[in-house]
Amino acid sequence: MNWLHEPLSSSLPAPSAGPDESLTPTPPPQATPDLRPLRSLAESLTRRIVWLCVGVTLMVAGVRLIMVYKQEREAFEAAVSKVSETHLPLLANSLWDIEPLAIQHLLQDIAKAPQIQAVRLNVSTGQFFQAGEALSKAERSGEQGDITLEVPGPKGGKSLGQLSLDFNQSYLRQQLMQTFAQVGLLGLLATLGLGYLTLRILRRELHQPLQDLAHFAGTLAPGKPTPTLELARPPRPQRDELDVVVEGFRTLQGEIQHYVDERQRRAEQLEQAVARRTTELHEVTRYLETMSRRSSRFLNLAVDEYPGMIRATLRDISSHSGDCSLAIAEQPVGAPQASCRFVWLAPRDTVAGVALDQPLLADLIGPLPRGWIVLRFECLADAEPQRAIAMQRHGIQAMVCCAFTGSSGTQLLLAMSSRPEKWVFRDDRMAKMSAEMLFNIMRHWQDQLALQRLHQELEQRSNTDSLTGLANRRWFDEVKLEETRRAMRGGTSLAVVTIDVDFFKSYNDTYGHAQGDQCLVAVSRMIQQTFNRAGELPARVGGEEFTVLVPEHDLAQALGQAERLRQCVADLAIPHLGSPLQRVSISAGVSCVRPDRFEAGTSPEHFIAEALEAADGALYRAKRSGRDRVSD
């Protein structure tokens, strides 16, 4: 892919030279700076208003605190009045009836009022009851509470005790703090809001216009371009002093603007041309770097990773091409239409009928000459009538088609958009470069797929028996060691079944080798159907000899499977005149070994050799016993 590194300097115009040094203005002489500290008028006025608001807030807070204090005292007096009217008679009855529980309940009911902190009842008999919050020693230093009420006796008799009520100072403080916080918060919000509005109005009406005037005056100099004087002020029906100053500055500006405008226009044109060319060069360089990185990633890529990488490459090309939709299509020789192999649809595009393996309209591509060609249609008016109709049916308003037609067919790279636009591919060579890279990647992928299929086919042939399709001796020897190591690691049993077709030499002599091969195929099919669980490996290890590895099976299970196989072969009822049974039969030997029955350090080779030797011995015993049987 050396074509990725071709220089593009020959296809791109050289950037213009930098701006002429004669256009650079001479800096004006610097004025003597004023070293006095700068304080904004808007900030000074705003600061005074803020302090005024703070003072007003404190005054309002003081008035509000006095009102809350009076309200809480009145609420306490109301609570005392309620106690004297409703609870004292009930307390008198409870004291007279000597009901301590009822007395305590009444005191707790009195203490529920938030203005009452504690309730104490000193009975004339010496008893003492209390409810509410516990009082500190200092608070209990006085014998009487804030309010003391006499509990009258029945029928105006002698007092039964004294009821003391303590005013809840903490509740009062809480209410005062809450009121102060509310007033303070409202005052703070009002102060901030008023200060912000004042500062904003002053900045807009005074500070910002003065700043604009100062900035504009600093830019006035011969040979130096100056902006138009525009104060940041809303329109108003009358003029003021600032408007008069603005008119004077504009008069001064008009006298030098004519000279400045021409020089500024030329400098801007030159700067725009340099910036445009620099942007184009950066885009081309970034695109080349992206394509180079993408192409290098395909060198050591796995076959199954090609589709994802091709789609990612289309996405990268789309990001460099105005976020258009891209498709790679192929049209073999003789095919009426081209079909899409890979598609990347841009998120904002509404292109229709362009999907994977979906054919494109024939008129969208049209007849193409052999070799490379780039077709560019930036709007429907650029295309022929039939092609324009096909583009409309696909929802395409603009398209760039880069195609290569060879002996095997046509490959196409389509860049499509549902809106008319100009493409980043400003010349055909960039479009051809992208298409050539993608087509080379496609061909390399096809070669890798063919090589992978060939490798799989060769591996399949090297591991299986060509006649029966079972594993061959070589593959069996590799797998048996792996299964043995797995059984030794897991401490599980490993069963081995050896199978031999009875009187098979006589069968070949009687029916011929072709019929003998068919017999072996039929027996192999039964073996595959019987031993078809995961991990079980039937293999043909000789002419009519078969061996099966049966992991994680004990002897009884393996014998059961071997017996089912023997019965399945018998049910085939394949005629065999050379056998005493007059049909084809098999004999099988089964062995089962466990790792715990061997000494520590036994090698896997010794382990499986013992199992195979035991299975062969069982097979010989089955043959000596008359064949058509299973032995262990």
Region of residue 544 (phi > 0: left; psi between -120 and 50: alpha; otherwise: beta): alpha
Q: Are residues 240 and 114 in the same domain?
A: no
Tokens standing for 379? Answer: 């709007």
Q: Are residues 183 and 237 in the same domain?
A: no
Q: Are residues 239 and 257 in the same domain?
A: yes
CA distance 620 to 499: 10
- Please check whether residue 36 lies inside any domain of the structure: no
Q: What is the percentage of the chain residues whose pLDDT exceeds 90?
A: 12
pLDDT tens digits for range 431-485:
788 888 888 888 888 888 888 788 877 776 777 888 888 888 888 888 888 888 8
Paired with 371 in beta bridges are: 405
Residue that finishes a domain, picked among 454, 474, 501: 454
CATH of the domain at 320: 3.30.450.40
pLDDT tens digits for range 174-231:
878 888 888 888 878 888 888 788 777 777 777 777 777 777 777 766 656 666 777 7
Is residue 506 pLDDT above 70, yes or no?
A: yes
SS3 labels along 75-131: HHHHHHHHHHHHHHHHHHHHHHCCCHHHHHHHHHHHHCCCCEEEEEEEECCCCEEEE
Q: Are residues 524 and 598 in the same domain?
A: yes
Report how many helices (DSSP H) and strands (DSSP E) the chain contains, helices first.
Answer: 15, 14
- Please check whether residue 22 lies inside any domain of the structure: no
Position with higher pLDDT, 606 vs 523: 523
Cα 117 from chain centre: 60
Q: Are residues 482 and 612 in the same domain?
A: yes
CA distance 321 to 424: 5
Q: Which residues make Cβ contacts (< 8 Å) with residue 191, sequence separation at least 6?
A: 50, 53, 54, 57
Residue 501's pLDDT is 92
CA neighbor of 170 nearest in space, from 135, 143, 145, 119: 135
Q: Distance of CA 540 to CAs 124, 128, 291, 457, 517, Å?
A: 116, 107, 53, 19, 13
Residue 31's pLDDT is 54
Region of residue 37 (phi > 0: left; psi between -120 and 50: alpha; otherwise: beta): beta
Tokens standing for 598? Answer: 């061997």
Three-state secondary-structure class, residue 163: strand
The answer to whether the CB of 130 falls within 8 A of the CB of 121 is yes
CA neighbor of 445 nearest in space, from 312, 313, 307: 307
Residue 564's pLDDT is 93
Looking from the CA of 183 toward its CB, the CA atoms found within 13 Å total 21
Residue 34's pLDDT is 63
- Report the length, in residues, of the chain: 632
Q: Are residues 85 and 195 in the same domain?
A: yes
CB atoms within 10 A of CB 208: 16
Encoded amino acid at 603, one letter: S
Q: Distance of CA 387 to CAs 86, 167, 423, 429, Å?
A: 101, 97, 19, 23
- Please check whether residue 447 lies inside any domain of the structure: yes
- Please check whether residue 371 lies inside any domain of the structure: yes
Region of residue 396 (phi > 0: left; psi between -120 and 50: alpha; otherwise: beta): beta
CA distance 562 to 621: 15
Q: Are residues 508 and 621 in the same domain?
A: yes
Instruction: Read off the pTM.
Output: 0.42
Q: Is the dihedral of CA 175, 180, 181, 185 positive or negative?
A: positive
CA neighbor of 295 nearest in space, from 534, 497, 555, 3: 3
Residue 350's pLDDT is 80
pLDDT tens digits for range 508-551:
988 998 999 999 999 999 999 999 888 888 998 888 899 999 99
Residue reference for tokens 């002698």: 158
- Angle in degrees, CA 544, 546, 547, rounded to 5: 160
Residue 224's pLDDT is 64
Which of 51-60, 258-267, 489-498 has the weakest average pLDDT? 258-267
CA distance 210 to 86: 74
- Please check whether residue 244 lies inside any domain of the structure: yes
Q: Which residues make Cβ contacts (< 8 Å) with residue 73, sequence separation at least 6?
A: none
Q: Are residues 623 and 484 in the same domain?
A: yes
Q: Are residues 408 and 478 in the same domain?
A: no
Residue that finishes a domain, picked among 260, 279, 297: 297
For strands 409-417 and 325-332, give the pairing: antiparallel
Q: Are residues 285 and 327 in the same domain?
A: no
CA dihedral 623, 627, 628, 629 (to 10 degrees): -50
The answer to whether the CB of 579 falls within 8 A of the CB of 621 is no
CATH of the domain at 549: 3.30.70.270
Q: Are residues 240 and 138 in the same domain?
A: no
Residue 575's pLDDT is 92
Q: Are residues 346 and 402 in the same domain?
A: yes
- Please check whether residue 16 lies inside any domain of the structure: no
- Please check whether residue 35 lies inside any domain of the structure: no
CATH of the domain at 78: 3.30.450
Tokens standing for 392? Answer: 């409309």
Paired with 150 in beta bridges are: 162
Residue 402's pLDDT is 87
- Please check whether residue 313 lies inside any domain of the structure: yes
CA neighbor of 577 nearest in space, from 519, 619, 621, 622: 519
The answer to whether the CB of 340 falls within 8 A of the CB of 358 is yes
Residue that finishes a domain, picked among 219, 251, 279: 219
The whole domain housing 189 covers 41-219
- What is the Cα gyration radius of the chain? 52
**Structural domain count of the chain:** 4
CB atoms within 10 A of CB 502: 24
